[in-house]
Amino acid sequence: MCIVTLHHQNHPVYKLIVASNRDEFYERPTAQAGFWEDYPYILGGRDLKEMGTWLGITKQGRFAVLTNYRDIASERPERKSRGKIVNQFLTSNEEPITLFEKLQQQRTEYNGFNLIAGTVDDLFHYGNNERHLTKLQTGTHSISNGSLDANWPKTKKAKEMLQTYVQHQQDIYIEDLFEQLNDRETAPDPLLPNTGVERDLERNLSSIFIENVPNYGTRVSTVILVTHNNDVTFVERTYEKGQYADETRFSFSI
């Protein structure tokens, strides 16, 4: 159950601010963030099982991030890996709108997903459950495993924290964003969404950082800052069963 919160085109220094947690089964093999050997202009982590990714940015300024849409009753194991969708956006030279049109035609080939993709200047959201493309308005947005800006406790809290922070901070400190991503407070039962899982699991999945689910939890936190001058800072922290493990940091210009 991943979460992505971003602030877009409404800050005096940064055109894009991204704070994201990737939640995954602990046994799923994953590579730390880096520039890919087969596509050296792509920066991101990588799922070593299907060779897709959940989040990435290119030296040309393309950006894409994906979360699963949780709909247990509709899941089909034979469908394609959703991480390949991000690969397609990052490796392509086609206009993002063209790629979204193709994705609309292929939407039934994948289990439920949300995709935010485009360039650091113009971003769009598409979910194959809702089936319509939306250009992101300027400001703050948050998405997990439901709709964009859904009124779930975790997405609402993450959005409010980032929105309040950027409104009062011209200097954005990466450590402050990681502190937001490390929020492990679960939501009260009356506020929990109903996504088709047992109540105890729903509760444990309601925190921004997940640590109390057997064999599953937050494995990667990522912060991306892009200035109006197109200078990129990309920082990834990895975790093992809730404990900090390592950090990688990259800087480049688009």
Burial tier of 34 (Cβ tally within 10 Å: 0-12, 13-18, 19+): middle
Q: Are 84 and 102 in contact (CB under 8 A)?
A: no
Number of domains in the chain: 1
Q: Residue 35: give its domain's CATH number.
A: 3.60.60.10
Measured CA to CA, the distance from residue 29 to residue 233 in angstroms comes to: 25
Burial tier of 200 (Cβ tally within 10 Å: 0-12, 13-18, 19+): exposed
Burial tier of 22 (Cβ tally within 10 Å: 0-12, 13-18, 19+): buried
Please report, for residues 4, 130, 200, the alpha-carbon distance to residue 142 in angstroms, rounded to integers and kept in the order given.
6, 16, 24
For the stretch 64-82, pLDDT in tens is: 999 999 887 788 889 999 9
Indicate whether 180 pLDDT > 80: yes
> What pLDDT sits at residue 100?
95
Total Cβ atoms within 10 A of residue 240: 11
Question: What angle (nearest 5°) sits at the alpha carbon of residue 161, between those of residues 158 and 162?
Answer: 85
Burial tier of 12 (Cβ tally within 10 Å: 0-12, 13-18, 19+): exposed
Measured CA to CA, the distance from residue 82 to residue 54 in angstroms comes to: 8
User: Could you tell me the pLDDT band of residue 228, with boundaries at 50, 70 and 90?
Assistant: very high
Indicate whether 1 pLDDT > 70: no
Measured CA to CA, the distance from residue 55 to residue 44 in angstroms comes to: 6
- Name the packing angle between helices 153-168 and 174-181 (round to 10°): 160
Total Cβ atoms within 10 A of residue 249: 12
- The neighbouring-strand residues paired with 68 are 113
Domain encompassing residue 247: 3-253
Percent of the chain with pLDDT over 70: 100
> What pLDDT sits at residue 223?
98
For the segment 88-98, the average pLDDT, to the nearest whole number, is: 95
Q: Are 70 and 128 in contact (CB under 8 A)?
A: no
Q: Are 86 and 163 in contact (CB under 8 A)?
A: no
For the segment 187-192, the average pLDDT, to the nearest whole number, is: 95
Measured CA to CA, the distance from residue 65 to residue 95 in angstroms comes to: 17
Q: Are 232 and 225 in contact (CB under 8 A)?
A: yes
- Name the packing angle between helices 83-91 and 96-105 (round to 10°): 150
For the segment 57-65, the average pLDDT, to the nearest whole number, is: 98
